[in-house]
Chains A and B, each alone.
Chain A
Amino acid sequence: MEFGFDADQTLLQSALREFLAAECTPERVRSIWASDGGHSPELWARLAEVGLPGVSVPEAHGGLGLDELGSVLLFEETGRAALPEPLVATAAVAAPLLVELGGEPAERWLGPIARGEAIAVVGDGLSPLVGHAGIADLLLLPDGDDLHALTPERVERTPQPADDPGRRLASVAFAPGPATRVARGDRGRALREAALDRGALASAAEALGAADRLIEVAAAYACQRRQFGQPIGRFQAVKHMLAGAKVKLEYARPAVHRAAWSVARAAPQRSLHVSMAKLLACEAAGLAARTALQVHGAIGYTWEQDLHLWMRRAWSLEMSWGRSAFHRSRVGEVILAGGARIGPGETFAAPAGSEES
């Protein structure tokens, strides 16, 4: 039992933090927001140089071959940078889905994804909207329990302008058929559920990063902004709001890290752990956004101030890969069922049947 990351993992995280601080500045985020497709091919190419789109693509296909535990800290950093690119969709969800699918789709797409030459997105099966669909080269979309792999010419995409310009949404229509179907029945459902868990996990990690950045930005502003002859950060009303947001964040973080472990190990309770993580991280990010806005006051309510880059990210992460109500209900289905193994000593318990007592 050891709950922590090793030095390699935290080194990779700090290296990515530095890289994104230089490459994904607030100015860069704004220019991507203002672009037609909500996407920067130049930035995507830079991300590919450090291996991010192929973070979970096997090394044989040119990727980094990391599992969810190896990548969770990296998604905290992309959240901290409010990275607008389709990294969660392509790297955290589509690539592992293609690996599980195997066969022709995997052979065809994994290499290009790792090289930054292809963007793949996945429908979450909960919402009719698909994030980043407009710039996708491959769309993996559920139809009931079936899963279809579609290239852009086989779908009709209707943009649905939404609050976060960094995550362009579209409703997508397509004609499902044997030619597009890559999995069906139980297998299709299992793939869709695994994709949902991975998307929710990466979103939870991004929410942690966004929350951390929001608190950091607001604390810095509270030190610098003066009213009544002193920095507003000296007032307890301001201190206590920020402290509350910090508490919420620090108790969400370990839940996200545990969920990463459970998904990487295909633990039987991974969906429960992911839902807890998504719920806690998005609550923390929501509170951080609300708090940071209040600390900034009117200046935070402007388009010019950078604060909303992370606020909008915090809100749109809650909307992605299952909203909080969905995840809360998934937690409820497990813990409120009769005979659920909950309580002290069950947090890391092995599943029934594999334990001595």
Chain B
Amino acid sequence: MNLEYTPGQRAFRAEVRAWLAAHVPKAPLASFDTREGFEEHRAWERTLDAAGYSMVSWPRDYGGRGADLLEWLIFEEEYYRADAPGRVNQNGIFLLGPTLMEYGTPEQRARYLPRMASGEEVWAQGWSEPNAGSDMAAIQATALRDGACYVLRGQKTWASRGAFAHWMFGLFRSDPASERHQGLSFLLVPLDAPGVTVRPIEKLDGKAAFAEVFFDDARVPVENRLGEEGAGWQVAMSTAGFERGLMLRSPARFQRTAQKLVELYRSHAERCEPALRRDVIGCWTAAEAYALETYRTVSRLLAGGRIGFEASLNKIFWSELDLRMHETALEILGWRAELRPEAPAAGDAGEWLDGFLFALAGPIYAGTNEIQRNVIAERILGLPRG
């Protein structure tokens, strides 16, 4: 064990910190769940990419810097420390990107990764269907082979930023006689293809960036398949592992929230009941625990280990922590807690309300926490399945 950064890691941090200080927009961008904010965030992705900071852990050939996972963690720490904009293409860069590295052909990687890193092509996920939520293996949307194409029929739903995204990756049943986890294929689908209809859905926050997507004989070339035909479930599980695990929710995000929570408490401390002090300390401690566990995991991966079922522990921990931090903040805010950001008296309350509404989704997306608890119980603790 050695818990000190190397001179090279410290230099990398200093370099990232200096660049972000010079480039992070001074005023916050509009929400990336609005059309205007979506484009503002894409412009920011271009700026990041031009400097080689979009995906530092990717190989240089695909627009990255070949940084290792520890440097990626350092980058994330600096990114959140600088309050830099949210990553509009997070489903692409953090989820599909690593899956393409693992399962993509050289041609697929060259075709998709650079345009993903630059924000030119923003990706949405296509997992859920009206009758396949927690039970994802109940997928019904089909992709039937017709010569050099798959013909897509059916519906996907709950696609974050699907209303504005350019592409969708998802699972389709390529063998119509198959059941459950068999006969599924992982496809990359352009959302402007004929036969694809995108219908926005307003989320709990009233923004219509969420979407359901209908496929009526949309044709997708066979080379848009990731991995073998019929082996889509395995490819998707790799993506889902990244999402629950390391990439999508790096600890810096929650440490920044915890730090802001401490600042909020300090500015209201004189009228807070003692229980809130206890909650704030608990939140900060949990955010640090999450960071420590992530460093441990990254060290293990760098030594040749792989992320397995423990990704489910991770997903429960960060989603519950995020919610608890926002609930605590709303308690501290007292009567202002229900004010929208535009309310004249809101002050900083509006951000916490928005954050709370977003945090409520955490225990649901990327596999509900109940599904994760089943995974932990069955795969880690050895309880009987079913």
Contact = CB atoms under 8 A, between A and B. Distances in A.
Contact of B377 (A2, A242, A251, A257): A242
Contact of A1 (B4, B269, B300, B380): B4
A5 interface: yes
B299 A2 contact: yes
Interface stretch (A50-58, A143-151, A311-319, A345-353): A345-353
Given A240-B370, A257-B1, A247 B313 contact: yes
Interface string A243-257: 110110011111101
A207 interface: no
- Counting chain A residues whose Cβ lies within 8 A of the other chain, the interface size class is 35 or more
A242 B255 contact: no
Interface string B299-313: 110110000001001
B131 interface: no
A261 to B, nearest CB: 5
A246 B314 CA distance: 11
Nearest to B277: A332
A279 B285 contact: yes
Interface stretch (B46-54, B75-83, B203-211): B75-83
Contact of B372 (A219, A223, A243, A331): A243
Given A223-B384, A250-B293, A347 B280 contact: no
A88 to B, nearest CB: 21
A280 B287 CA distance: 12
A262 B2 CA distance: 10
A253 B269 CA distance: 31
B381 interface: yes
Contacts of B266: 336, 338
B316 A1 contact: no
Contacts of B299: 1-4
Given A239-B377, A344-B80, A231 B292 contact: no
A276 interface: yes
B386 interface: yes
A2 B73 CA distance: 13
A204 interface: no
A100 to B, nearest CB: 23
Interface in B277-328: 277-278, 280-282, 284-286, 288-293, 295-296, 298-300, 302-303, 310, 313, 316-317
B93 interface: no
Nearest to A279: B285
A71 to B, nearest CB: 13
A4 B297 CA distance: 9
Contacts of A331: 281, 284-285
A234 interface: yes
A356 B14 contact: yes
A307 interface: no
**Chain A contact residues: over half helix, strand or loop, or mixed?**
helix
A276 B288 contact: yes
B1 A239 contact: no
B81 A345 contact: yes
B289 A246 contact: no
Contacts of B256: 343-344
Residue with the highest number of chain B CB atoms closer than 10 Å, among A1, A215, A242, A244: A1
Contact of A347 (B265, B269, B291, B384): B291
Contact of B383 (A239, A253, A356): A239
Interface in B154-195: none
Interface residues of B, number: 67
A15 interface: no
Contacts of A251: 286, 289-290, 293, 313, 317
Contacts of B10: 355-356
Contacts of B269: 336
Greatest chain B CB density within 10 A among A243, A255, A276, A340 is at A243
A258 B292 contact: yes
Given A3-B296, A243-B376, A233 B383 contact: yes
Interface in B362-386: 370, 372-374, 376-378, 380-386
A236 interface: yes
Contacts of A276: 285, 288-289
Contact of B3 (A3, A223, A344, A346): A3
A69 interface: yes
Interface in A254-297: 254-255, 257-258, 261-262, 276, 279-280
B252 interface: yes
B255 A347 contact: yes
B1 A69 contact: yes
B78 A219 contact: no
Closest 4 CB pairs of A and B: A239-B377, A343-B259, A344-B252, A233-B383
29 contacts: A1-B295, A2-B2, A3-B292, A215-B381, A223-B382, A239-B377, A239-B383, A240-B373, A242-B377, A242-B383, A244-B316, A244-B373, A246-B381, A250-B313, A254-B295, A276-B285, A279-B285, A280-B289, A332-B277, A332-B281, A335-B284, A336-B280, A343-B258, A344-B77, A345-B74, A346-B255, A347-B255, A347-B291, A348-B4
Given A219-B382, A223-B384, A348-B295, 16 more contacts: A2-B299, A219-B381, A230-B384, A239-B373, A240-B370, A242-B381, A243-B374, A246-B381, A254-B289, A254-B292, A258-B3, A280-B286, A280-B289, A340-B262, A343-B259, A357-B14
Interface of A: 1-6, 69, 215, 219, 222-223, 230-231, 233-234, 236, 238-240, 242-244, 246-247, 250-255, 257-258, 261-262, 276, 279-280, 328, 331-332, 335-336, 338, 340, 342-348, 350, 355-357
Interface of B: 1-6, 9-10, 13-14, 17, 70, 74, 76-78, 80-81, 251-252, 255-256, 258-259, 262, 265-266, 269, 277-278, 280-282, 284-286, 288-293, 295-296, 298-300, 302-303, 310, 313, 316-317, 370, 372-374, 376-378, 380-386
